[in-house]
Structure formats: C-alpha cells, structure tokens
Structure 1
Amino acid sequence: MNERLDPHAGGQPHSGSRGSAESNAALFAISVAAELAGMHAQTLRTYDRLGLVTPHRTTGGGRRYSERDVELLREVQRLSQEEGVNLAGIKRIIELTNQVEALQSRLTELMDEVARLRQRRGELVPLPRSQALVVWKRRNQ
C-alpha cells in the first residue's frame, strides 16, 4: 500500500512515525483538497462523515486538509474505483494499516530501548535487521 493511510483515527490529530510536520499541516480548504484529489467537495464531506478522512477543523468549524489527507483521499478513490473495495472495506483497511504502523513504531521503540539497556550493561549490541529484499541471481558459468 502507499504511504500512510492515516485519517486522524478517531478524530485525533495525525500521529505515527510516517509523515513530516509539513505533510500534516492543515493547508487546504475543502474546495482545494477536492480539486487536488480529483473529487467533488461533497465526496470529501461524505468521507469525513463516514470517518474515512478526518480533516483538521478551524475554530469556525471549516475543514482544512493536509497533504497527507489529500494522499489518503486519492488512495480511498483508488481502492474504490480500481480495486472495487466498498467504503466499509476501505475504512477497515485504513484501521488495520494504522494498527500495523502503530505496532511497527512501538516495536522500533522497544528495540531501541533494548539496545540502550544492552549498551549500558556492556553487552554487544546486534545491528538492526534490514527489511530490504535482496534478489540473488546465479550467474551461468
């Protein structure tokens, strides 16, 4: 899946290990976000009401979308149109993606803490495992 599918789960501000402060900044009014995502503004309101994408709110109650919100809107549209996933399924995908990312972040924190504790005790600290995939192709001799 693409970047992060975070829609400020539960109305909370963006959180997690992915995304910069700039990508979380509430920059765009609904009309601009709709245009950037290639959707109608009413679709964004519907997605907000369903909890798929939850933009920041101004003090007057206006919606303000971040770059990450726009990316999420595009991903919702892709899942719906290209993959044929219904909105309930998309919401579940978003929830599960957020859970996985939170667990990955927590695991990284715990691994860092274990490394610090081992270092304090003078133990050898193993290098972090890479998540890179190496494709090995045998040469014909």
Structure 2
Amino acid sequence: MNSPQMSVPFGSPPPDAAVYVISVAAELTGLHPQTLRAYERMGLIAPGRTGGGGRRYSHRDLERLREIADLTSAGIGIEGVRRIMELENQLDALRARNEELLAELDAVRRGMTARAAMQAPANKLPVLHQSVGQSVVVWRRPR
C-alpha cells in the first residue's frame, strides 16, 4: 500500500508540505470532513496546523487517508487499520535500515579487497602441476 516514492508533478509542493485545507482534502479523498476529523481524533492522521489552528493536509496525508478508506471499505475495523499502518511503518523503517546495512557491508568489502590487494606478496609461488600418482606438498609462509 505504501509506495516507496511518490511522484509529484514538477512545480508541485513536496509530499510533506501541508497545503490542503480540510474541504479540499475531503474532496480529493472522497471522505467527509467529519471523517477526517474523526481519523485525527483516533490518531490515524496528524495534519499540520496553521497559526490560527486550521488543519492543513499534505499530499502524503491524502495518500494515507485513501489507504484508510480502502481498508475500511474492505471491512477492516479502525483498530485493524491502525495495526496495519503501524506494521507498514515498521516495514518501511526496516527496509531503510536494511539498505543502510547493505551499503555499509559493500563499503567494508571494498575496503577489505583494496587492503588485500595492497598486502599481496610480490613473489608468488609458481603453479604446480600434478601428475597421476605423484604427491604434492603445499608450504605456507608464516605470517
């Protein structure tokens, strides 16, 4: 349900910019303004506020309201919606952390490869060929 990146048309405000008044947000989501207020009281949405206390919704808020509407219309109760959204937030955070860890692991691997290349011995042993029936002895240099 959560998209990793929302596409916003060029010249539009950023996804988190609280710019839509409640009547516009209600119209864009197909929900009644009282429903938006109820979702806010339940803690499902937290719109921005103006200095005078008026609600302002962002593009991201509208997407969240649409998700809530889709889930409730599918028969999921408000507590179920709340839990689903919590789990989606946790999943998003875990994905972001996983990406960070993968990038860190890649950097460590590159560093180890570079360090190993700089410490490689200059004189390598020649390649030994083994004939059938002969033994091969491998010598290791002490470190």
TM-score (ref. length: structure 2): 0.70
Q: Which residue of structure 1 aligns with residue 51 of structure 2?
A: 59
Deviation at 1:117, TM superposition (A): 1.4
Q: Which residue of structure 1 aligns with residue 2 of structure 2?
A: 3
1:71 maps to 2:63:
yes
Equivalent-residue separation in structure 1 for 2:5 and 2:89 (angstroms)? 11
Identity %: 48
Equivalent-residue separation in structure 2 for 1:39 and 1:116 (angstroms)? 48
Deviations 1:86-138 (A, max 9, x none): 11110110001000110110010011011111112226xxxxxxxxxxxxxxx
1:118 maps to 2:109:
yes
Equivalent-residue separation in structure 1 for 2:101 and 2:112 (angstroms)? 17
Q: Which is greater in Rg?
A: 2
Equivalent-residue separation in structure 2 for 1:51 and 1:18 (angstroms)? 24
Q: Which residue of structure 2 aligns with residue 84 of structure 1?
A: 75
SS in 2 for 1:100: helix
Deviations 1:51-91 (A, max 9, x none): 1111122222221111111111111111111x100111101
Consecutive aligned runs of 4 or more in structure 1 exceeding 3 Å deviation: 17-21
SS in 2 for 1:122: helix
SS in 1 for 2:14: helix
Deviation at 1:18, TM superposition (A): 4.1
Deviations 1:2-40 (A, max 9, x none): 235xxxxxxxxxxxx644772221120111001100011
Question: RMSD across aligned C-alpha pairs, in angstroms?
Answer: 1.8
Higher RCO, Cα 8 Å, sep 6+: 1
User: What is the one-letter code of the residue matched to 2:60?
Assistant: R
